[in-house]
Amino acid sequence: MNWMTIAFAVILLWSVVWGAKRRFATEMGVVIAQLISVAVGIAALWAAWVGSARLSNLATHAKVQTLPHVVMQVLQVWQQAPGIARAIVFFIVYLVVSSILNSLLQGLAVLVPRLIPGMLGKSRLLGGGLGAVVGAARVIVLGGLVYVVLQYLSVPILASAAKTSGPYQYLRQTLYDPWIRPLTTRELPVYAQGALEPLSKNINMFVIPTGVGQERGVLVVPKQVSSLAKQIVAGQTTARGKAYALYEWEIHHIHYDWKKYDDYVYHGKWDQQSPLQTLETGKGVCADYALLYADMAHSVGLTVQIDEGLGGTPGQYGSHAWNQVWLPSSQTWIPVDTTWGSQQDAWFDAPNFSQTHIQQIAITISGAGA
C-alpha cells in the first residue's frame, strides 16, 4: 500500500483511539486548547508582524536630535542594524501578545468540559467520534502541506507517493486545487516577447524548412545524453510511458537558471549552451529544457517536436519554448512543458494547454531509427 495513504490512516486511527481513551469531555477540552493555541499563534504573529513593521518605520524616519538621550541611542542602534532590531521587536511582541491571549483564553479549555453532563462527558464512543473529526482535520492539514511543497519544490519520493495515494488525490481534487492552488500558483518563467534566441543556435542540429512556421530537424545526440535517456525509459514499452518518464526525470533534475534569464532580459547577454551542458550543469532556461528533452526523446525512438512561441496568460505572454511528442498508437501529439513542470508538476499533456501556449514555430524531429 502507498506509504502516504498508510500515514494518513495511522493519523486518523491514532486520533480515534486517543479520543476514545480520553472520553468525550476530556477530548473536547484538548480540542478547544489546540484551537485556542492555533488562534493565539496566528493573532500573535499578525500583531508581531504589524507592530514590528510600524515601529521599524517610525524608528527609520525618526529625528533623533529631538528625542531624549536614551531613546536617541536606541534609535541610532536601530538605524544601524534595522533588520536585527525588527527581528528582536517581532520576537518580543509575539511573546507578550501570545502570553496575554493564552492567559485570557486557556480557561475555556478547562471550563467547557465541566459544562458537559457526566454520562455524556464519559462517553468513549463520542470521544472516539470527536477524535475522528480531529484526525480528519490533521490529515487535511498534512495533505495541504504536501500540496504546497509540491507546488514549489521537486521532491520525487513525495510526488510519487502523492500521485498514487487515493485519499490525497481525493483531497487534491475537492479541496486543494479549488482553494489552495489559486493562492500558491506562481508566475511561470517566460521571456519578454521577442527575447528568445533561435533554438537552432543551441543545438547540434540541421534544420530544413518544410513550410510556414514548420521545420524538420536532424539531431546529432551526444553519447552521454543518449545513454542516460535509455536508462530513464528502461522498462517502458509505450511512447507515452517513455515520454512521461523523460518528463519526470527532467523536471526533477534540471533547475531553472534565473541568472541566465536576467543576463539576457536585462543585459542582452545570451549564454549559449548545448543540451549536454544543460545536463552537466543541471540548469537552463526554457530553450535548454526543450532542447535537452528533444535530444533524449529522439534517442529513445520518439518523434518529438520543439515548439517556439508565446507562453503565459492573455496580457502576460512572453517568448517560450516547449515540446510535443507523437503517439503512434493514438496518432496524436501530446504537449510537454518541462520548464513549467520544474516549477509545478502539472505540464505533461495538460488539459487546455493551448490556452497558455501559442505555437509560432515548430521543429519536428523523427525518433532515432525511425
Cα angle 364, 272, 261 (rounded to 5 degrees) comes to: 95
Tell me which DSSP letter residue 176 carries.
I
- Grid cell, residue 361, equals 514555430
Give the pLDDT score at 153.
Answer: 65
Which phi and psi (to 5°) does residue 254 adopt?
A: -115, 130
In this structure, what DSSP letter does residue 207 have? E
108 Cβ contact partners less than 8 Å away, ≥ 6 residues apart: 32, 36
| Cβ density class 244-265: b for 16+ within 10 Å, e for less | bbbbbbbbbbbebbeebbeebe
CB 37 within 8 A of CB 91: no
Share of the chain above pLDDT 90, in %: 43
Locate 28 and state its grid cell. Answer: 473536547
pTM: 0.52
Q: How many CA atoms within 13 Å lie on the side-chain side of 38?
A: 8
pLDDT number for residue 274: 86
pLDDT for 326 equals 95
The full set of domains in the chain, from first to last, is 3-184 (no CATH), 199-365 (3.10.620)
Q: What is the number of residues in the chain?
A: 370
Phi and psi at residue 53, in whole multiples of 5°? -65, -45
- Please say whether the beta carbons of 53 and 166 come within 8 A: no
Using DSSP, how many helices (H) and how many strands (E) does the chain show? 16, 8
User: Measured between alpha carbons, how far is 230 from 246 in angstroms, rounded to an integer?
Assistant: 9
pLDDT of 194: 43
- Do the beta carbons of residue 189 and residue 259 sit within 8 Å? no
Dihedral of the alpha carbons of 179, 180, 184, 189, in degrees to the nearest 10: -70
Question: Using an 8 Å Cβ cutoff, are 228 and 295 in contact?
Answer: no
Query: pLDDT value at position 183?
Result: 65
C-alpha cell at 244: 512521461
For residues 204 and 218, the answer to whether their CB atoms sit within 8 Å is no
- Residues of the chain under the 50 pLDDT cut: 186-187, 191-198, 200, 203-210, 212
